[in-house]
């Protein structure tokens, strides 16, 4: 019987870069902020963490330091996805050796593959590393998505325990839940899909918004887990415009800008990402003020 890695809100945490690399002092403060506001888990080296710009050495060190600074307070899930299966395997081995609770593995981008290739890609890593794997379905980023039938096949592997469902397709989430049941736990990969997916049985969200409103994200998930969906919908409505503003430009451009406005200095962006435009920055700040954030 499989066990969920976490229930509730998981923050896809930003990576605070400076001119010399990664600012680990800022990272530690961000981890404290998450824990103090009820976050159940964090994803490090994910999309929001600009994983695509990390060198192999940076990836390993970021994982090691995150686990040390977290000190077991929250579950730690490590992004290991790659369009090179052997690279994903190496990162997965490093995450397991460092003591991570799970790995998050995105579908291979650019070279893509068939559904058969996806099954072999994920299975190759899951066969070789004894650590829980969460699949990551985000076709808007990768150009390829997992079908519900492919999820069903992968769910039979003992090490493949869940999916971060970020396609935005609620019907797909419903079909995955129907075909896989508790062999593949579901977490919403989009803040705006949290309530509908949790109403179908998802166990929480892997969130961008929780970088700045972790308490609200934790409360939203708690309400859903308790079956209080009317209250959860009302709480989501309060933050809907803010969540929309956090994606006005490519993630994590807006969320890093929002953190800076709050005094949670998130560090630099790495090229090809650039700072938020002045116009969009004003819209973001207005959305933050509307929910009571001091900016």
3-state secondary structure at position 103: strand
Give residue 79's pLDDT. 98
Beta-carbon contacts of 32 under 8 Å, excluding residues fewer than 6 positions away, are none
Q: What is the pLDDT of residue 265?
A: 83
pLDDT of residue 116: 98
Where on the phi/psi map is residue 12: left (φ > 0), alpha (ψ -120 to 50), or beta?
beta
Q: Using CB atoms within 10 Å of the CB of residue 264, give its burial: 0 to 12 exposed, 13 to 18 middle, 19+ buried.
A: middle
Kindly indicate whether the domain formed by 8-228 is annotated with CATH number 3.30.390.10: no
Q: Which tokens belong to 195?
A: 């309530």
What are the extents of the domains in the chain? 8-228
Helix or strand holding residue 279 (H, E): helix 278-290
> Is the C-alpha dihedral spanning 101, 106, 108, 113 positive or negative?
positive
Prior bond to 272 cis, omega within 30? Answer: yes
User: Which CA distances in Å does 117 have to 97, 122, 123, 240, 289?
Assistant: 27, 9, 10, 37, 46
H/E stretch holding 133 reads strand 133-137
- Phi and psi at 136, nearest 5°, equal -130, 110
* CA geometry: angle 284, 290, 295, nearest 5 deg: 60
In this prediction, residue 73 carries a pLDDT of 98
User: In degrees, to the nearest 5, what angle opens at C-alpha 137 toward C-alphas 210 and 10?
Assistant: 20
95-125 pLDDT, tens digit per residue, is 999 999 999 999 999 999 999 999 999 999 9
pTM > 0.85: yes
Catalytic residues: 136, 164
Q: What are phi and psi of 135, to 5 degrees?
A: -70, 155
Q: Identify the segments of the chain with pLDDT beneath 50.
A: none
Q: How far is CA 166 from CA 139, 172, 173, 181, 257, in A?
A: 8, 10, 9, 18, 23
């Amino acid at each position: 019987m499989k066990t969920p890695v976490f229930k509730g809100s998981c923050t896809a945490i930003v990576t605070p870069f400076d001119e010399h690399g990664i600012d680990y002092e800022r990272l530690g403060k961000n981890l404290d902020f998450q824990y103090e506001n009820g976050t159940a888990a964090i994803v490090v080296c994910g999309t929001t963490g600009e994983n695509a710009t990390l060198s192999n050495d940076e990836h390993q060190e970021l994982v090691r330091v995150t686990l040390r600074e977290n000190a077991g307070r929250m579950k730690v899930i490590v992004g290991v996805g790659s369009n090179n299966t052997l690279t994903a395997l190496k990162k997965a081995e490093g995450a397991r050796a460092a003591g991570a609770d799970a790995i998050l593995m995105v579908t291979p981008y650019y070279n893509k593959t068939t559904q058969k290739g996806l099954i072999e890609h994920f299975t190759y890593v899951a066969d070789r590393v004894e650590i829980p794997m969460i699949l990551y379905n985000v076709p808007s980023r990768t150009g390829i998505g997992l079908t519900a039938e492919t999820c069903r096949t992968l769910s039979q592997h003992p090490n493949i325990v869940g999916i971060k469902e970020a396609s935005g397709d609620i019907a797909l989430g419903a079909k995955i839940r129907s075909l896989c049941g508790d062999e593949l736990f579901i977490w919403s990969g989009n803040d705006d899909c949290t309530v509908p997916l949790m109403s179908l049985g998802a166990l929480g969200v892997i969130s961008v918004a929780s970088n700045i409103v972790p308490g609200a994200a934790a409360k939203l998930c708690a309400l859903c887990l308790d079956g209080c969906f009317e209250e959860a919908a009302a709480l989501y409505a309060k933050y809907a415009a803010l969540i929309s503003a956090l994606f006005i430009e490519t993630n994590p451009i807006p969320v890093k800008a929002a953190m800076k406005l709050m005094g949670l200095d998130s560090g630099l962006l790495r090229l090809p990402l650039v700072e938020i435009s002045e116009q969009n920055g004003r819209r973001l700040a207005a959305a933050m003020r509307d929910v009571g954030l001091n900016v």
